[in-house]
Amino acid sequence: MARVVQKFGGTSVASLESIKSVALKVKSEIDKGNEVAVVLSAMAGETNRLANLVTSVTSTYDPREYDSIVSSGEQVSIGLLAITLQEIGVTARSWLGWQIPIRTDGAFQKARIQRIDCADLLEDLEKGVVPVVAGFQGMGPNNRISTLGRGGSDTSAVALAIALKAKQCDIYTDVDGIYTSDPRIVAKARQLKQVTYEEMLEMASLGAKVLHTRAVELAMKHRQRLRVLSAFSDKPGTLVVDEGEIMEQELVSGIAYSRDEAKITLVRVLDEPGIAALIFGPLAAANVNVDMIVQNASAGGGATDMTFTVPQEDLGRAIEVLEESRAKTRYENLLSDNEVVKVSVIGVGMRSHAGVATRMFEALAEKGINIQVISTSEIKVSVLIAEVYTELAVRTLHSKYGLD
Amino acid sequence: MARVVQKFGGTSVASLESIKSVALKVKSEIDKGNEVAVVLSAMAGETNRLANLVTSVTSTYDPREYDSIVSSGEQVSIGLLAITLQEIGVTARSWLGWQIPIRTDGAFQKARIQRIDCADLLEDLEKGVVPVVAGFQGMGPNNRISTLGRGGSDTSAVALAIALKAKQCDIYTDVDGIYTSDPRIVAKARQLKQVTYEEMLEMASLGAKVLHTRAVELAMKHRQRLRVLSAFSDKPGTLVVDEGEIMEQELVSGIAYSRDEAKITLVRVLDEPGIAALIFGPLAAANVNVDMIVQNASAGGGATDMTFTVPQEDLGRAIEVLEESRAKTRYENLLSDNEVVKVSVIGVGMRSHAGVATRMFEALAEKGINIQVISTSEIKVSVLIAEVYTELAVRTLHSKYGLD
């Protein structure tokens, strides 16, 4: 007998029929002899509907009230699953964040879980009762309801699995698992049987939207086994595990891309110590997340060119901030470009193999694709290229690294 | 400075614009120098939507899950009012039943309030923060959310006013106050400035749907001053107070009617001791609420006719139950009639005046209206008549008792 946490997202509980399917998934896990706790999101669309009510009143709302309002979506879905489980003969009860409690810090709208007191849940599990737990929510200071931020239910599920010492945390979603690349643009993309936490983390932050980054970080920290699988099929999905658990690591496990990038170049900026702080300090203060940064070799005359990327939605704000600080940074010209894409090659195997990056550059050069910016980490190489080459680049690299 | 509890129903918070109007009502009470606590219902339609989700899964749902699901409606409305108040410069915070807590017994779906720990709310009031409290809900045993039954927000408001020792509990609704009769059928109906708890109670249970019966009972028990007034105008409304507060009591204060009645006659039922228990015991066991009962003088031959009324929606069930027990009660025939109405004359003045009932019977006889069943209490006389005479009877009595 193993203890398993099953997490189902909004599309899996979008209607009463979907909730019925979820109930059957839970029952089949129990029929295998396992102890099961379930974590749910709100019915698809509910969180958006509730958030829109709030922002229609004001954009400067009290985050504590926002959290209390939007967390009501999970209150409905968990109750509905509990009665649906009871209806098919599975004893179950719903648990709200404050009832357990799942204690969080006071950063409303993006709270972090501090502690889960799961004595009551363990008692339920021992009695054969399935706890159906509200994802996304916890209890902050002064007994106020907090939420973990959009997509936070994945984090709830992982945190609960850790607290309950579950053997595995199964994240049911609307895809079959993790793929070597986006199947919508790479027809030959294969589903991975296993992937390491590190790779999953890079994939999540580089545009693969299957798992919430914070959930993967948490799982990695506590070595909690995760599985990503479809709520709508019976396929085995992809295991996200520790590197040590994977016997033969492939060199590259996936090709990711993100269109959500914008490039900014400051032409002939002052070339002197402290200039980077003068540029990026005000951007950080304005909450603009700067990603890839390249400083070109000095163009001479005490000036240099500085290129970097920001999320597309922050481009306008970034330009404003840079213009305000122009008196200090004294750049000659500001160029910006929305039509770019970041393509990344990911794999823990890179650590022990040289030449992975070179092979990438060669492959892109062969197709005549110009690389605008490069950034690397221990387990990934990312390049910024013109957006029109997205499909060509991703498919080419997918073949080049033997993933087809 | 006085402390006031303001309660707004679902139609008063049906949209963001209505919630804005509610916020202005609250602000104007504060501008008078009063301390204000607010109790809200869910946005109109929400509780029905949530209840329908539950009953679509199963009719034999777990009442604890039902309560958790439907109580989420108030969680949304109180949060929205809190941010709307903040937006117009009024410090406010939302309070869920469990946060206060409002403790109830374990009769889920129809829980009774046992205790309100209002230390935190009093602290808010002292600091000038307006507590916006979720109506309809409380916390039952094992930290589970309970609800007080449909219309329960009136009861929440009265209980809170009592706990906070408020000077007055203002129930904002979609009518201007309590009328001498239904203005839709009696054009000459007048709004009452004051009415006693006892009269209000009779009016509520006899078809006037303005206030929830339990709320009036609770107010009466604790002598809590109530006011019923419109959320959509600035009229003063009707005060519901103790009899002692009303200097000159009128003989009759209102004419009520209820179409929600069905009449059953058991023809030639066995006339012997214990027969009433044989008839009404099984009905009570089936949760059928029997109202007016008349046993005709024995028709001879050891048999009698028994006539009584039940709520229209229970008629089918009542007939089933009676047919099942026919072997014991041995009635010859069962007659039923849906086309009846109960018309009532209400007034605490009746206690000290004879002849009120006689005047009613005479007035109806003058118009040729046949009385089918009569029942009386200390402060009301009710008659059952054919439904087609509703308007004629109510208008006639309204004039007869000088209420025009």
Q: What's the confidence (pLDDT) of residue B165?
A: 97
Q: Counting runs of H as helices and runs of E as strands, what totals does chain A give?
A: 13, 18
Q: Name the more confident of A150 and A363.
A: A363
Identify the segments of chain B with pLDDT beneath 70.
Answer: 205, 207-208, 247-249, 297-300
Q: Is the pLDDT of residue A185 over 80?
A: yes
CA–CA separation, A169 vs A150, rounded Å? 19
Tokens, residue A72: 């009501």
Q: Which of B317, B378, B388, B318 is nearest to B348 (CA)?
A: B378
Any CB–CB contact under 8 A between A101 and chain B?
no
Contact criterion met (CB below 8 Å) for A346 and A203? yes
Peptide bond into B101 cis (omega under 30): yes
Contact criterion met (CB below 8 Å) for B333 and B346? no
Any CB–CB contact under 8 A between B284 and chain A?
no
Any CB–CB contact under 8 A between B109 and chain A?
no
Any CB–CB contact under 8 A between B83 and chain A?
yes
**Using the beta-carbon criterion (under 8 Å), do B62 and A75 form an inter-chain contact?**
no
| B87 phi-psi bin (left φ>0, alpha ψ -120 to 50, beta other) | alpha
A333: DSSP letter = E
Q: Average the pLDDT over A206-218 and give the result.
A: 82
Q: What's the confidence (pLDDT) of residue B28?
A: 95
Q: What's the confidence (pLDDT) of residue A244?
A: 79
- Contact list in B for residue A71 (CB cut-off 8 A) is 75
A298: DSSP letter = P
Q: Average the pLDDT over A312-330 and give the result.
A: 93
Q: Name the more confident of B228 and A376.
A: B228
Token pair 């907090």 in the structure block, residue: A146
Q: What's the confidence (pLDDT) of residue A299?
A: 59
Tokens, residue A319: 């330009």
CA–CA separation, A49 vs A46, rounded Å? 5
Go through B374-398 and write b for each residue having 16 or more CB atoms within 10 A of its CB, e for each that does not.
ebeeebbbbbbbeeebbeebbbbbb
Q: Which residue among B65, B86, B93 sits closest to A83, beta carbon to beta carbon?
A: B65
Q: Average the pLDDT over A367-390 and give the result.
A: 92
Any CB–CB contact under 8 A between B375 and chain A?
no
pLDDT, chain A, mean? 92
CA–CA separation, B154 vs B136, rounded Å? 8
Which CATH code fits B3-174? 3.40.1160.10
Q: Is the pLDDT of residue A377 over 90?
A: no
**Using the beta-carbon criterion (under 8 Å), do B65 and A82 form an inter-chain contact?**
yes
Q: What is the per-residue pLDDT across A237-272, written as a single tens digit (0 to 9) for each?
A: 999 998 877 766 678 889 999 999 999 999 988 888
Chain B interface, best mutation among A19, A67, A83, A98, by max B CB count within 10 A: A83
CA–CA separation, B389 vs B370, rounded Å? 9
**Which pairing describes strands A168-173 and B254-270: parallel, antiparallel, or unpaired?**
unpaired
Angle, helix A197-205 to helix A213-222, in steps of 10 degrees: 160
CATH 3.40.1160.10 in chain B, residue ranges: 3-174
Per-residue pLDDT band at A155 (split at 50, 70, 90): very high
Q: Which residue among B16, B62, B99 sits closest to A57, beta carbon to beta carbon?
A: B16
Q: What's the confidence (pLDDT) of residue A34?
A: 96
**Using the beta-carbon criterion (under 8 Å), do A75 and B68 form an inter-chain contact?**
yes
Tokens, residue A373: 């910016």
Q: Is the pLDDT of residue A205 over 80?
A: no
Chain A, nearest residue to B61 by Cα: A83
- Topology of domain B255-400, CATH: VC0802-like (3.30.2130)
Tokens, residue B24: 């202005």
- Residue A112 Cα distances to A39, A70, A150, B257, angstroms: 17, 17, 12, 58
Any CB–CB contact under 8 A between A276 and chain B?
no
Q: Give the 3-state secondary structure of residue B135.
A: coil
Q: What is the per-residue pLDDT across A102-135, written as a single tens digit (0 to 9) for each?
A: 999 999 999 999 999 999 999 999 999 999 999 9
Q: Which residue among A53, A61, A94 sits closest to B68, beta carbon to beta carbon?
A: A94
CA distance A192 to chain B (A): 37
Q: What's the confidence (pLDDT) of residue A404?
A: 87
Q: What's the confidence (pLDDT) of residue B323?
A: 95
ipTM for the whole predicted complex goes beyond 0.85: no
Q: Which residue among B76, B98, B143 sits closest to A53, beta carbon to beta carbon?
A: B76
Tokens, residue A376: 């690397």
Q: What is the per-residue pLDDT across B283-304, written as a single tens digit (0 to 9) for each?
A: 988 888 898 888 876 656 778 8
Q: What is the per-residue pLDDT across B47-67, written as a single tens digit (0 to 9) for each?
A: 999 999 999 999 999 999 999
